[in-house]
Structure 1
């Protein structure tokens, strides 16, 4: 049986596009990892500007420091796979968006 998958070699412009997408995915992952946990603690109506003790603070740390890097690096690895590419980048960015919503939801639940 013949393999019907198109396995043409990637051109230099394909590689440039993948590198740009990889940098975007890594940048979004870094923002989710370092900035979003700080944003979820901010509270304009609170006396000291910070939300009180969080009920799910430990879960948020696990998501920010464990899950986000795995998703970002897994996305970049999948993009560099011969059958990966822009579709993998779109799926990875969508997963990072879901993780953003999860982290924001966890940060707004005070004890």
Structure 2
């Protein structure tokens, strides 16, 4: 007679990894690539922080090229506060063990969004 009940099934569990996979170590080429990405992020952050407010207050139809006696607060807050924090956070995130070029791409995207935000705030300055 054959035993077909599941209660006495003594098969071994399916083989699997006994510990999680260890990420591979970064090579010299990886470090060089990450350094290039970090330098690009720093350069883009500097351009956004310097050129962004200047483009935001520029005016093609104004006599001196700058909008009238308006107070510009929003884009300067972005340029002096948020842009350096995003740039620094991105550079730090690039070099953490699970960061890398993906964090650099996200940071560059955030800098582009901040640059666009500065230009929009400059058009509607009060």
TM-score (norm 1): 0.91
* Bigger Rg over Cα: 2
Match of 1:47 in 2: 63
1:1-16 correspondence to structure 2 within 5 Å = 2-4=19-21, 6-16=22-32
Pick one of 37, 42, 62 that aligns with 2:77: 62
Cα distance in 2, alignment partners of residues 97 and 3 from structure 1: 37
1:84-103 correspondence to structure 2 within 5 Å = 84-103=99-118
Match of 1:31 in 2: 47
**1:47-97, CA deviations, whole angstroms, 9 ceiling, x for partnerless residues?**
221012446x21211110000000001000001000000110111011001
Output the aligned Cα RMSD: 1.4
Give yes or no for contact 2:56–2:75 (8 Å, CA) kept in 1: no
Task: Report how many residues are paired.
Answer: 109
Cα distance in 1, alignment partners of residues 75 and 125 from structure 2: 12
Deviation >6 Å, runs of 4+: none
Match of 1:80 in 2: 95
Where relative contact order (Cα < 8 A, 6+ residues apart) is larger, the structure is: 1
Structure 2 alignment gaps of length 5 or more: 1-17
Cα distance in 2, alignment partners of residues 85 and 22 from structure 1: 9
Cα distance in 1, alignment partners of residues 74 and 56 from structure 2: 13
Higher helix share: 1
Structure 1 alignment gaps of length 5 or more: none
Report the 3-state secondary structure (helix = DSSP H, G, I; strand = E; otherwise coil) of the residue aligned with 2:73. helix
